[in-house]
Structure 1
Amino acid sequence: MKPVYILLFISFFFSTELFSQSGLGVMVDRAQQAFTDLANRSKRTPKPANIQGTHYFNERFEVATLDYFGTELNDKGFMRYNAFRDEVEMASTTSQNESDLVLMKSNDIVPYIGGEKYLYIPHRLEDGRAYIGYLVLLHQGNNHTVYIKRQKVFMEEVVARTGLENPFPPRFVDNIQIYVSTKGDTPVPLKQSKKGVSSFFKENSDKVRKFIKANKLKVSETDAIIKVFEFADSF
């Protein structure tokens, strides 16, 4: 399968200028066919008008690169992350609004979208269930690797039963969770409270608690979590 993967990515990351050059018609056609053969096409249905929100934290297709079996490909393409479907969508230009082409899910295919590294790996959900999906790498230290998982969750319509209750339309809501892997173990959710973060470090919890207090860190913020784990690399 590996040669087919290579043809797929060659076809996807060819520039339009290269496509227009004479003498490359056969080569481009074959690459495009390989792309079609391997790319997953995901059936899309229009979103009902009454649903608020979107599948995306960023609806624009951004410049993206790929690591393929540990090798960084030099060319660039355009991708965005669908946080409801947990998929990476691909496009030929940044001006596209829709795409049914989805990057094949594999831990050997690592997209970098807008500078963020998306890893398709096993992790534990908040309810303890095992799940394989995309996590974005935030920090890789001596003992801990920190990720962020950004999800869009669909909420059904809530009808007000009385005049004292507020109705809510069907909508997509944000669900953002920090995950931590310790010494290569399966990533698990981190409780983003001062107590939850400090107690994560067990015998070093007092050091972390004092560090958070001394630096006036808000552990609800991603940058603060990164600073805590950078500090934890010192012990």
Structure 2
Amino acid sequence: MKTIKILALAVFAVQFASGQSSLTVDDLDLYQNQNVRIGTKSFSDDVEGSPYYTEEFVLASMSMDGAESSGNAYVRYDIYSDVMEIASLKDGSDKSFAMQDSRITIDFGDKTFRYMTFSRNGNEVSGYLEILTETNGQTLAVRHSKEVKTTELTGASGYQRQKPPRFADTIEFFLIDADGKAVKFENHKKKILKGLTDDKAKQVKQYIKENKIKFDDSYRGLIAVAKYYSELS
């Protein structure tokens, strides 16, 4: 079994002065002196696929409270454990874990992530979300997750065998308001209406029809609908 890795947690000691200050990897390390422990979940060596968003560490810009303080670090997102690994070396040999704080934004250039807490159907959810757009005080975000799945195969003789376990990917879309209340969206012309109230579903359906909105992997259609939905009273 791969062992669970738990770090001795370093001090988060950024001192904010007037104007912009610089964040270092040590500054962005996690929560020391708050009795918080974090680590990566274990999994067996025969699991196929990867627990990561990207296999390699990628140079990313990390900022706190907008442009108040910023700096660069090599970052790798472990989706399976929902932790951001950060390092000052490209090979990640000195890696630790980034602070799980909604004030910190991690920008990979073409993707932006933030640790957020939101509520849906009375349940509170926390984790890293990919930010697609922010409009009218609301955030459209993607929640990535991975789980280990096994599949049993039954042959003609009735004999059952298991395929090697593998990482299975799931993505969910949420529109989150300023109070942390979330509405689940779908990147699909019809499915997007299911999580909406009847009145708003009718308006969104009409908007999609009139504007010939298309839903694809660019998320342009989904973003357009989210912006329209955020304007509805």
Question: TM-score when scaled to structure 1?
Answer: 0.69
| Range 176-185 or range 38-47, more displaced | 38-47
Are 1:114 and 2:122 counterparts?
Answer: no
Distance across 2 between alignment mates of 1:124 and 1:166: 40
- What 5-or-longer segments of structure 2 have no aligned partner? 1-10, 16-21
SS of residue paired to 2:101: coil
| Letter aligned with residue 215 of structure 1 | K
The CA deviation at 1:205 is 3.0
* 1:152-210 Cα distance to aligned partner (Å, 9 max, x none): 1111x333243377843201011000011245332243244434423526434334223
1:230 deviation in Å? Answer: 2.7
Inter-partner Cα distance in structure 2 for 1:35 and 1:86: 15
Is the Cα–Cα contact under 8 Å of residues 85 and 95 in structure 2 kept in the other structure?
yes
Give structure 1 regions of 4+ aligned residues with deviation exceeding 4 angstroms: 34-41, 43-47, 97-100, 164-167
Instruction: Report the CA distance shift for 1:220/1:202 in structure 2 as closer, same or farther (over 3 A).
Output: farther
Q: Which residue is 2:142 aligned to?
A: 148
Note the C-alpha offset of 1:146. Answer: 0.8
- Aligned mates of 1:71, 1:80 — CA distance in 2: 22
Report deviation, 1:135: 1.4
How far apart in 1 are the matches of 2:69 and 2:173?
29
3-state SS of paired residue (1:110): strand
> How many Å separate the matches in 2 of 1:147 and 1:81?
16
- Measured against aligned partners, the alpha-carbon deviations of 1:6-34 in whole angstroms (never above 9, x if no partner) come to 17x7442xxxxxxxxxxxxxxxxxx79x9
Helix, strand or coil: the match of 1:197? Answer: helix
Distance 2:116 2:30 in 1: 25
Amino acid aligned to 1:160: L
| Structure in which a larger fraction of residues adopt strand | 2
Q: State the partner residue of 1:25.
A: none
Equivalent position of 1:6 in the other structure: 14
Deviation at 1:227, TM superposition (A): 1.7
SS class of match (2:172): strand
Q: What is aligned with 1:16?
A: none
**Partner residue of 2:219?**
222
Query: Percent identical across equivalent pairs?
Result: 19
For the 8 Å contact 2:173–2:184, the answer to whether it is kept is yes
Q: State which of 79, 104, 123 in structure 1 corresponds to 2:99.
A: 104
Partner Cα separation in structure 1 for residue 136 and residue 93 of structure 2: 41
Matched residue SS, 2:13: helix
State TM-score, norm by structure 2: 0.70
Q: Which runs of 5+ in 1 are unaligned?
A: 13-30
Larger Rg: 1
Q: Describe how 1:1-235 pairs up with structure 2 within 5 A.
A: 4-6=12-14, 10-12=23-25, 38=32, 42=39, 48=45, 50-94=46-90, 96=91, 100-124=95-119, 129-142=123-136, 144-155=138-149, 157-163=150-156, 167-198=162-193, 200=196, 202-213=198-209, 214-218=211-215, 222-232=219-229, 235=232
Aligned residue-pair number: 209
**Structure 1 residue 41: Cα displacement:** 7.4
Higher helix proportion, which one?
1
Q: 1:45–1:132: structure 2 CA closer, same or farther, 3 Å change rule?
A: closer
- Please provide the CA RMSD for this pair: 3.7
The C-alpha deviation readout for 1:54-73, integer Å capped at 9, x for no partner, is: 11122222222222245443
